[in-house]
Amino acid sequence: MSEDVAIAQVVTAITTVFYAAVFAIGYYLMIKGNRQTLREMRQERLSGGRPQVVIEANLLNLPMVELVVRNESGGGCQRHKLRSVDPYRGFLWLRPL
């Protein structure tokens, strides 16, 4: 009987060490992934990111068209020009200068 108890204690100790190692590896990989994400977010914040521009057109008072251009991101939107490719169709494009 005492031999069975000793084997059970050894197996329990090995299982506990195994589970501790699995949790340690999991936490290590989670922290490594979080650090990479934080690095990318910091780099994106410092670079200003790409500007996200939304253009809205109000056609209620035709022939006058009201345009609203909004910069949704915090990044700078400089040196861009709004022009109509075909004034008869009214397609609008935002392109860099």
Q: What is the pLDDT of residues 27-76, one digit of tens each?
A: 999 999 999 999 988 887 776 656 666 777 777 777 777 777 776 666 66
Q: Report d(CA 43, CA 69) in Å as an integer.
A: 27
User: Where in the chain are the domains?
Assistant: 1-47, 53-96
Q: How far is the C-alpha of 5 from the C-alpha of 37, rounded, in Å?
A: 48
Contacts of 60 (CB under 8 A, 6+ apart): none
- CA–CA separation, 65 vs 20, rounded Å? 66
Number of H helices, E strands in the chain: 1, 4
pTM value is 0.43
